[in-house]
Amino acid sequence: MGEHSNWPEWVYIGVVVALLCWVGAEAWNVERLVEHIPEDAKTIKVVGQQWFWTFEHEDGTKEIGELHLETGKAYRFEITSTDVIHSFNIHDYVVLLDAVPGRVNTVWFAPTEAGVYDIQCREYCGLIHYNMRGTLYVEDPT
């Protein structure tokens, strides 16, 4: 076995390691970009409880089950829960984050198109989980 050549194995290992490094770097970079919250983002407190969503704007305005936002502005959601774990999801804008009792999780997005979008709970949270929905109204600024 002295003259046995194993360079193909090393090439294979090198390619695999390089690809893993590339995948890790790409994912890390996208996560960094997506999680960078703009300084002028408006804060909206989101509270999940069995089985509806409550929203509180910066000016104290509260909404239950529906949320009105404007295009071209950034919004930071501070998400929590009062009972069990929920998960706040706006499917059309790829917003998804758990609502955990005793903890505030933060996610942001900037709506780009006016319209009506679904808000839903994406963590099984009890009997009416399937209907723990809300509506997001995105309007153009007046």
Partner 1 sequence: MRYMLGVVALMVVVATVNLSYAATEEPGEYLDRRTEIWNLFFRMMVVAFTIGAVVSGTLIWLIWRFRESHPKAKPTKYEGVDW
> Does 114 contact partner 1 by CB under 8 A?
no
By the 8 A CB rule, do 88 and 79 touch? Answer: yes
Read off the amino acid at residue 77: F
> Does position 34 bind partner 1 by CB under 8 A?
yes
Least spacing, CB of residue 52 vs partner 1, in Å:
25
CB 132 within 8 A of CB 53: yes
Closer by beta carbon to partner 1, 1 or else 127: 1
- Distance in Å, CB of 27 to partner 1, minimum: 7
CB of 16 or CB of 104, closer to partner 1: 16
Per DSSP, which regions of the chain are E strands? Answer: 42-49, 52-56, 62-64, 66-70, 75-81, 86-90, 95-99, 105-109, 115-121, 133-139
Question: Cα angle vertex 54, ends 70, 136, to 5°?
Answer: 35
**Which window, 44-52, 59-67, 89-97, 122-130, contacts partner 1 (CB under 8 A)?**
89-97
Q: Single out the segment in contact with partner 1 by CB under 8 A; choices: 15-23, 45-53, 60-68, 122-130.
A: 15-23
For position 70 contacting partner 1 by CB under 8 A, the verdict is no
